[in-house]
Structure 1
Amino acid sequence: MSSLKLTDVHKSYGKLEVIKGVDLEIQSKEFVVFVGPSGCGKSTLLRMIAGLEHITSGDLEIGGVRMNDVDPSKRGIAMVFQSYALYPHMTVRENMGFALRFAGVAKDQIAKQVNEAARILALEPLLDRLPKELSGGQRQRVAIGRAIVRNPQVFLFDEPLSNLDAELRVHMRIEIARLHKELQTTIIYVTHDQVEAMTLADTIVVLRDGIIEQVGKPLDLYDNPANLFVAGFIGSPKMNFMAGVVTASGHGGVTVELTNQGKAHVVLPLSGPAPAVGAAVTVGVRPEHFGLAGSGGPEITVAIDVAEHLGSTSYIYANTKSGEQIIIEREESRHELGHESITVAIDPAKTFLFSAAGERLR
């Protein structure tokens, strides 16, 4: 399997620049997920790696070899698309072996590689069926099998689960994770679903507007987001953000008044430079980091709007008087859920602080 490197990669369509200088190194056998909102450039970047889009400037290397002008068929990659793109008149066996047959591989070798891919994907009982006789999940496994038989250096997945229902998406996530573990291959996977990114990736690349916002392991991004965008995008439900203003600033920390939360004050430790008194900031708290009233830390009271009960966990969607929405996670304790309002405590040790420009203050 091969490593992959992107150096100052740009992509423009006329005067419209959609990829704005991407630098990224992907190690051999790594599972990397490109994640971001629609229009951030993640699929365009994947198609540039595949050779389906021309690189305007910059360099792409696979296995240490520059690939900018190499034909897609010779890059050692295999791509699985959002649509299954199976030939309706061919059986599963024929669909999986078509690329090998087109390349002139011997019939016995094709049979061997198709049978091995079918074993890995549990498709052996389905080899003689037509695509119309398969479920959505089975068709996606065939599409993955068609990529496996080519024995590529790098697998590219472009939102492969978006056409499946919720239950099948969970099942296929497990299948793809197991596939990576068995094949020990390099995988680049594109999705807008941050839950897929968190559960599948060794490394997540968060993209916005054609640039990389942050690269890191899933829990590193969750625990230490670099900026307001990453903090809000990684995590489900999303992080809560509350407007604040610095009322005291000194060595080792600041005091922030939550301007829309009844003038509550939070004292936050900082190891780096502190913002000046009067500076506008944003305080971030994840839903699971709100404590019960009386558990210590500053308290805020919010009006309950909706409560979602998911068994052992409930999510409370509440609003402040100023209209800011707050999401609060509760496990086991549900006594507040019949009330019109709830008071919760903020733990400063688990609170994030961001500048007016959206940069993380640490």
Structure 2
Amino acid sequence: MSHLTLKAVRKSYGSVEVIKGIDLAIKAKEFVVFVGPSGCGKSTLLRMIAGLEHISDGDLEIGGKRMNDVDPSKRGIAMVFQSYALYPHMTVRENMGFALRFAGVAKDQIARQVAEAARILALEPLLDRVPKELSGGQRQRVAIGRAIVRNPEVFLFDEPLSNLDAELRVHMRIEIARLHKELQTTMIYVTHDQVEAMTLADTIVVLRDGLVEQVGKPLELYDDPANQFVAGFIGSPRMNFMAAKVVEAGAGTVTVALTKQGNAHVTLPLTASPAIGSDVTLGVRPEHFGLAGAGDADLAVDVDVAEHLGATSYLYANTGTGEQLIIEREELRNETGKENLTVSVRAANSYLFDNSGQRLR
């Protein structure tokens, strides 16, 4: 299986630069997910790897070979799109084998490769059906099977689950993870859904405005975000952010006052020494709030809405000063909303960001 390398890759449309110099190394057999908000450049980057978009500058290498000017059909890749794009008049068997037949592959070899892909994807009972006789999930599996029969070095997925309902998306995520484990092929997957990214990826690449914000394993990004953007993007519900001001710094600790929370003080263990009086942002994940008195600073909040999901509950609250908080607590499943509550912030589980959004460590 092939490794893939991007070296200072850029993409411009006229004077507008959408990919602004990306360096990335993807290992052979790795499952890498490009994630980010709409317009961040993730699909454009995938299409550049596929050869569907010209690379304005920099180099793309697959298996150590420069691919910038190589025809897409000769790059050893297969792409699965958001749209199934199946031929409506062809059976599942014919749809999966079409590219091979078009390439002049022998009929017996096509039959073997289609049969193997059907086995992997549990499509054997459906081989003689046409697309209109299939569910959305079955159609997506056929689209994936059409890619598998080509035995590519690299699989590319461009938001393949966007057209499916919530339950089917969960099922197909599991199917794709299982597929990667069985095929042991390099896979690059694009999504705006960070839950998909966390579920599927060996490595996540977080993109924003054509640049890489952070690369790492899913839980590394969750536990150790490089900046406020990554901290807010990775995690569902997102991290809470509260305005703060530095009131003391030194000797390995920084004390901040939460300026919209009655100046409650939180002292964090940090090597960085931001200037006294500088504005910063304190980040707290929903699950890291404690009950009153259990942490380093208590906050009085008004619960607007309580979302009970069975094993856990999310409380959507405000502090009366415009800051909205999401609090996850198993112990608070009896809250119904429109209630007053006191929660605590634990310094050991908090994050601090400067006014540019960079993490203070």
Match of 1:172 in 2: 172
| Equivalent pair of 1:255/1:265 in contact (CA under 8 Å) | yes
Q: After TM superposition, give the deviation of residue 337 of structure 1 in Å.
A: 4.1
Deviation sequence 1:182-224 (CA, Å, 0-9, x none): 0000000000000000000000000000000000000000000
Q: Distance in 2 between matches of 1:110 and 1:339?
A: 64
Q: Distance in 2 between matches of 1:251 and 1:86?
A: 64
CA RMSD across the alignment: 0.8
Match of 1:312 in 2: 311
Match of 1:278 in 2: 277
**Paired amino acid for 2:325:** I
Q: Distance in 1 between matches of 2:240 and 2:126?
A: 47
Q: Distance in 2 between matches of 1:282 and 1:309?
A: 29
Match of 1:123 in 2: 123
3-state SS, counterpart of residue 101 of structure 1: helix
Match of 1:249 in 2: 249
| Equivalent pair of 1:305/1:317 in contact (CA under 8 Å) | yes
3-state SS, counterpart of residue 85 of structure 2: coil
**Paired amino acid for 1:247:** V
| Equivalent pair of 2:306/2:335 in contact (CA under 8 Å) | no
| Equivalent pair of 1:302/1:321 in contact (CA under 8 Å) | yes
Please list every run of 5 or more consecutive structure 2 residues that lacks an aligned counterpart in the other structure. Answer: none
| Equivalent pair of 1:50/1:79 in contact (CA under 8 Å) | yes
**Paired amino acid for 1:348:** A
**Paired amino acid for 2:53:** E
Q: Distance in 2 between matches of 1:338 and 1:71?
A: 59
| Equivalent pair of 1:40/1:209 in contact (CA under 8 Å) | yes
Q: Distance in 2 between matches of 1:232 and 1:191?
A: 16
**Paired amino acid for 2:9:** V
**When the two structures are superposed, what TM-score results if normalisation uses the length of structure 1?**
0.99
Q: Distance in 1 between matches of 2:334 and 2:80?
A: 48
| Equivalent pair of 2:290/2:344 in contact (CA under 8 Å) | yes
Q: Distance in 2 between matches of 1:135 and 1:77?
A: 27
Q: Distance in 2 between matches of 1:89 and 1:204?
A: 38
Deviation sequence 1:217-252 (CA, Å, 0-9, x none): 000000000000000000000000000000111120
3-state SS, counterpart of residue 331 of structure 1: coil
Q: Distance in 2 between matches of 1:328 and 1:98?
A: 52
3-state SS, counterpart of residue 237 of structure 1: coil
Match of 1:85 in 2: 85
**Paired amino acid for 2:353:** F
3-state SS, counterpart of residue 29 of structure 1: coil
Aligned length: 361
Q: Distance in 2 between matches of 1:131 and 1:334?
A: 45
Q: Distance in 2 between matches of 1:296 and 1:350?
A: 10
Q: Distance in 2 between matches of 1:294 and 1:319?
A: 19
3-state SS, counterpart of residue 265 of structure 1: strand
3-state SS, counterpart of residue 349 of structure 1: helix
Q: Distance in 1 between matches of 2:338 and 2:91?
A: 59
Please list every run of 5 or more consecutive structure 1 residues that lacks an aligned counterpart in the other structure. Answer: none
Superposed structure 1 runs of 4+ greater than 2 Å apart = 332-339
Identity %: 80
**Paired amino acid for 1:296:** G
Q: Distance in 1 between matches of 2:330 and 2:356?
A: 34
Q: Distance in 1 between matches of 2:303 and 2:360?
A: 30
| Equivalent pair of 1:312/1:332 in contact (CA under 8 Å) | no
Show the 5 A alignment for 1:1-362: 1-271=1-271, 273-337=272-336, 340-362=339-361
